[in-house]
Amino acid sequence: MRALLSLFVTSLLLASSSALYAQEATEVLAGLRNGGGWVSVPIANGVGTVSTARMPTVGMTLTGCLNVWPGHSGAFEIRAHDQIADSSLVVQALPGVGVPFSHTFGRQAQIDFDFRWSEPRDTTLLLWVGLAIGKSPQDACQPVYGG
């Protein structure tokens, strides 16, 4: 379960910029270097989807945390399906509650995500994707807000 969650987080960070709002490749890479970043997912009538292209994951190991922006209400059900490994994961994410992960990837991944909000209306789901890098004192579950 944690393996697919980790793949989910990585995929969101590395997903094509057309699937996510304003996620330029340079911003994503900077987020990886800086210990994390924010990902925005459009939600319409309580539902959103994101799919990634097939990505090389070259056996990398990532450890970190996923955290829904605390200003959201309700709960978000996140379903991830890795088409290559044929594995799935369902996670309930509550605002402000971190979901830690750690995983070593295979050679490739391709993920489909479905997001269901407990409130059937429109919003932009904001997710903090924190990464534990080296001996950084920063808590990966603690979102970093712009300053």
CA dist., res. 4 & res. 82, Å (int): 8
CB atoms within 10 A of CB 106: 16
Residue 44, C-beta contacts closer than 8 angstroms, at least 6 positions apart: 122
pLDDT-based confidence at 91, cuts 50/70/90? confident
Determine if the pTM surpasses 0.75.
no
Fold for domain 2-131?
A: Jelly Rolls (2.60.120)
Q: Hey, which of 8-22, 63-77, 79-93, 128-142 has the most confident mean pLDDT? A: 63-77
CA dihedral 22, 104, 43, 97 (to 10 degrees): -110
pLDDT reported for residue 73: 96
pLDDT tens for 7-37 read 555 556 555 334 444 344 455 556 666 678 8
CA dist., res. 106 & res. 108, Å (int): 6
